[in-house]
Amino acid sequence: MFYFSRMPRSELLFNRMSPGRAAQSNRTGRFEPHAREGFDDGWDLDEDLPPTRTEVSIERPRSVITRNTSPDIAFDRSINPYRGCEHGCIYCFARPSHAYLGLSPGLDFETRLIARPEAPEVLERELRAKSYRPAVIAMGTNTDPYQPIEKEHRIMRRILEVLYAYRHPVAVVTKGTLIERDMDILGEMGRQGLARVGISVTTLDARVARAMEPRVPAPARRIETIRRLSEAGCPVRVMVAPVVPALTDHELEAILEAAAKAGAVAASWIMLRLPREVAPLFREWLAAHFPDRAARVMGRVRDLHGGQDYSADWGKRLTGEGAFADLVAKRFAVATRRLGLSDALPSLRCDLFRKPARAGDQLSLF
C-alpha cells in the first residue's frame, strides 16, 4: 500500500523545470512505502529555479559480471560500471532499475548516480578464477559506460585495460563520444577480433535529440564517432534504437545511410520499449515537448503491444508485433541490403584468452 505525503509547489517545479534533464517528474519508486505528491501551498513566488546538479555515490561491489539467461539477448554476461545515467534519455528501459536502490526512475535516475571504481580490480579477480570460462562480455547494456561522469572516474578505461591484458572479448554499446578516448585499446582489440562497438543513433534531428536525450552528444557527432572508431580498426554496428513510432521512425533509412557512409559494417534496430515507470515518464515528456502528436505516438505504441503501453513477451518485446512492426522490419531489411549492412559480424574470439602471469605465480613445467 502507498501512503501519500504532499510536497510544496517549489519542489514540484524543481522537477518539472530542470534544464538539461528529460524527466518531467521524480515519481516515487514502486518499492517505497510512501509516495509524494506536489501541490501549490500558496507561499511560493515565481522564480527561476537552479539547475539540478548531478550527485555521484560510490559502491564497492563484491562481483561485477552479471549473468542473464534471456532467450532474445545474444550475450550471457555483462558489466555496468555505473548505476543511473546522466545522459537522461527519456525512453531508457533501464530507468526502473533505480527503484531497486530506493530512488526514483525519474529525475533521480539522471542525477543521483552510483559509480563502481573498484570494478576493474573485482573483474580481474573474477577472470582469474579457475572455474571461469571466457565468453563475450557486453558493456552498456543497462546504463551507458561512456556517460559524462566517466571522464572523471575512468572506470571503463581501466576495465578495458584488464580485458585487453587477458585477451578477453568485449562488445560495447554507447551513445557517448568519450569512447574515442579509448580508441587505442578498442582499435587493437578490434583488429585481433576481440572487440566491437555499437553506436546508438535514435534520430538525426538535433532538436528532437536535444529534447529526448538531453546530455547525449549530437547525432552528427555520433556519426563522426562511427567514422573514427572504424578508422582505428574497431568494427562498428549502428543501432537504430529505439525507433519511436510517429516521431523518429521516418528517419530509419537516413540513419542507416549516414552510418554506412561513416564506416559502419553492421546494423540493428529496436522498437521503443516502455516498461514499468518508463511509460508514465514518457507520456509526461510527450505532453511537454510534442503535445500535437502525443496521442498518435502512444496509439501506435499500444498497437505494437496488444493495446498496452508495453508487453514483455519474449521474442516480441524488442520489436513489437503487428502491421507497423512488420513494416519497420521490412524497411530495415531492404535498406541494410542496399547499404551492405545486412551481413552478420563474425563471432568475437575466445581462443586468445589468457591469464597474465603475476609475481608469485607458480611457473608451469612446460
Which of 31 and 340 is assigned the larger pLDDT?
340
Half-sphere exposure (CA, 13 Å, Cβ side) for 264?
30
Q: Using the 8-state DSSP alphabet, how is residue 250 labeled?
A: G
Residue 312 · residue 269 · CB < 8 Å: no
Distance CA(222)–CA(275), nearest Å, equals 26
* Domain 3-38+56-339: top CATH class: alpha beta
Give tens-digit pLDDT for 116-171: 999 999 999 999 999 999 999 999 999 999 999 999 999 999 999 999 999 999 99
C-alpha cell of 148?
559524462
Give tens-digit pLDDT for 215-271: 999 999 999 999 999 999 999 999 999 999 999 999 999 999 999 999 999 999 999
Q: Quick one: residue 41, left, alpha or beta (phi over 0 = left, psi -120 to 50 = alpha)?
A: alpha
Distance CA(345)–CA(260), nearest Å, equals 15
Q: Which residue has the cell 524497411?
A: 331
C-alpha cell of 151?
571522464
**Could you count the other beta carbons within 10 Å of the beta carbon of residue 38?**
17
Tell me the mean pLDDT in the region 179-192.
Answer: 98
